[in-house]
Amino acid sequence: MEQSLASYAAHRQHSLGRRHAESEPTGGRSEYQRDRDRVIHSTAFRRLEYKTQVFVNHEGDLYRTRLTHSLEVGQVARSIARQLCLDEDLVEAISLAHDLGHTPFGHAGQDALNSCMAEYGGFEHNIQSLRVVDVLEMRYGDFPGLNLTFETREGILKHCSRNRAEKLGDVGERFLKGEQASLEAQITNLADEIAYNNHDIDDGLRAGLLHLDALCQETMFGPIYFEVQRLYPAAPRSVLRHEAGRRLINLLITDLVEHSTARIAAADIRSLADVRQHSEPLAAHSPDMVRAIRTLKAFLMANLYRHPQVHRQAEKAKRTVRQIFEILFADPQLLPLKQQLYLRDYTSDQRRRARVVADYIAGMTDRFAIGEYERLFSPRAGA
């Protein structure tokens, strides 16, 4: 596979390596395959099965979770990478790891935890995902974290303020230098958007929160759905929805591949160094598609993410996270013994205490957070 990669791909033999040297045999796997395998076997990855995408985990078994979302991102990213002759194993590793730092209850949980952490460095799931793979996962005797390659860690860190970049060492340098990430990281970022736009449409329609007629009239989904209706006039709506969804994904992937290929050729990109030194990301949709995606996202924001039912659940989630944080921060003895040990020599360090509490909450699944809330506040709940 290495011989088939483009000259500007992230070639594995030129990897900038891992934070900690390793001598164990690879078993025939490439470094990026090892990264992917380590992510899949991590505790944080398994927890994604019970973390919200849009709907709270207990609302239904058929809605997407962070786990299914990550798998869908990996599938889309690999398809794009194959057509652009980039490293598929690297994009898969990034895809599966990119949401490891997400809180319970999706973006509502993140917003609440960021607010709680405002005086102590804030909270951002992107940086938390990097913290998970660098520090919090404890599985190996020789080093903390998963000790992933620089290229995978770089892909996880999609965006970062200059302030935070200064504290992140090697993966923060490109934000300080104004450089770009690898094309593998760039396309994974866009695959994330392709995946969540599509599955949020599907979940929103299935939940009855989105109206098909309005979706078709106001967004790029309409022409695709009408064509599917013409081809399969007797098909049930569930089949039409699925057929339209997969055509939407194909349309977005095709546009991204064609426009990115043209941009790479126009900029005469010949190496990964050229990719990094370019003035802007090379992976991109065409201007017309960017406008169509922007309209679709605006529709989803107005009609799904701000739907009264979703908003109601989000506000409950925020209160749950906020109250758990407040009581644990005020009384760290309510934390599990493992987390208390992290504070043993830092009892008066409020910033350290806040970060330990934030790490604990961010690692919770939706249902664990609901149970922890009950244990902390209900006299009827067990310890």
Query: For residue 287, what pLDDT is reported?
Result: 98
Query: For residue 26, what pLDDT is reported?
Result: 64
Handedness of CA 268, 274, 275, 277 (dihedral sign): negative
Rounded CA-CA distance 129/171 in Å is 13
Query: For residue 161, what pLDDT is reported?
Result: 82
Third-level CATH fold of 2-6+30-308: Hypothetical protein af1432 (1.10.3210)
Residue with tokens 């599509």, as numbered in its chain: 198
**Residue 44, both tokens:** 């944080």
Cβ proximity of 222 and 199 under 8 Å: no
Query: For residue 173, what pLDDT is reported?
Result: 92
Cβ proximity of 58 and 367 under 8 Å: yes
Residue burial 65-84, b: 16+ Cβ < 10 Å; e: rest = bbbebbbbbbebbbbbbebb
Tell me whether residue 186 is exposed, middle or buried, using C-beta atoms within 10 angstroms of its C-beta: 0 to 12, 13 to 18, 19 or more: buried
Rounded CA-CA distance 129/150 in Å is 14
Report the SS3 class of residue 38.
helix
Report the SS3 class of residue 145.
strand
Counted residue by residue, the chain has a size of 383
Low-confidence ranges of the chain (pLDDT < 50): 1, 56-62
Query: For residue 61, what pLDDT is reported?
Result: 46
- For residue 52, give the DSSP letter: B
Query: For residue 57, what pLDDT is reported?
Result: 45
Query: For residue 167, what pLDDT is reported?
Result: 86
Name beta bridge partners: 272: none
Alpha carbon 75 to chain centroid, angstroms: 14
pLDDT tens for 13-46 read 899 999 998 876 567 788 999 999 999 999 999 9
**Residue 199, both tokens:** 């599955």
Rounded CA-CA distance 38/15 in Å is 17
Query: For residue 159, what pLDDT is reported?
Result: 84
Cβ proximity of 93 and 34 under 8 Å: no
In the chain, what are the domain boundaries? 2-6+30-308, 329-377
Query: For residue 60, what pLDDT is reported?
Result: 47
